[in-house]
Structures are given as structure tokens and as C-alpha cells.
Amino acid sequence: MHLNPYGEGAVKLAASLANRRPATADELADRCRAAGLVLERPVTPQDLGHTMDTLDAWEKIVDATDEHERAALLNRMLAAAAAYPRLTDHAGSGWHLHYRDDRQPLGPVLFALISVGTALHLAGRGIHRLQRCAVDGCTLVFADTSRTGRQRYCSHRCANRDAVRRHRARVTPMTSP
């Protein structure tokens, strides 16, 4: 039984697609399958275009400067993706809820998945737990799934790079001209 297929996995898929946008419908299909999505229809260039529009809207949520703006932007996405929840075992993988209409192409499926998944992530973990990496020059998005809710970096690599930079700034003597 799936308790919540729209939570952490959906928001991590959104971050992955936003950080490295797929160039073709085939790449989009491959990356969705790798994330565990069951694709019921062939993925088309229209699905790719719809996904790019979805990611543009989603990144505005990521970059929102306050929680009310973030909630308003996400609520707009949720309203556009609205459908009655449905109990389904479409892939024979166990009963779970879909927050979308049945037999949709991948573009609208991802729109609903990303909208609902992001809402569940932010409501369940905290409205601040979706952001860009704190390292100057890194623009990657991440969903903070840490236990403490204080993640600042997209990866251990960026965290280490920033720690080295801070260390060097402390130990390098300032020289004046």
C-alpha cells in the first residue's frame, strides 16, 4: 500500500527536472521512469512543453520571498490542477491516491504531481523547506528533507566548498596595500 506517492518523491523529481531540464520528450520519459513514475502513454513534445511551463511556475514558488507569496503561487497551481482524488491500482503496484483525472498525458500528470507534492511537502515539513543552494554561484534547487529543517546546500559538495571558503577567509591574513 502506498501512503503518499505525492510527497517527498514528487518534490525531489521537480527539483531534479528544474536543475537539469530535459531536452527531449524521450529524456523526460526516461527521467520520470527512473523516478518511479509509471507512464501509461507515450511522451510527446507537447508533454515536454507542458513540463517546461510547469517548471517555470514551480521555480517562482521556489524563489518566492515570503511564505504568503509562496502559498499564493502554489495555490494557483493547485487550483489549475484540481481534480477529485481517486483511489487507483493502475499499475498493479498497490492501491494509492491520484490527485488528477485518469488517462492524462504526462504533462498534466506532472503538473498535478508537482503541485500536490510540493503542497504536501511544504505543509508537512515547513513552508521554508524549498529553496536554492546557499553557495554563491550555485543556483540549484533542493527540497529540505533533513530532520532538523536547516539544510542550506544542494549537496555535500557545495556544503564542503562553502566550509573551505569560510575556513580560508578566517585563516588568510588580511593584507593592506
- The secondary structure of the chain in percent helix, strand, coil, rounded to multiples of 5, reads 50, 5, 40
pLDDT digits 0-9 by tens, 84-133: 788 888 777 788 877 777 778 999 989 999 999 999 999 999 999 999 99
Q: Whose CA is closest to 11, among 161, 163, 151?
A: 151
Q: Give the number of other CB atoms < 10 A from CB of residue 76.
A: 14
Question: pTM here?
Answer: 0.86
pLDDT digits (tens, 9 = 90+) for 131-165: 999 999 999 999 999 999 999 999 999 999 999 98
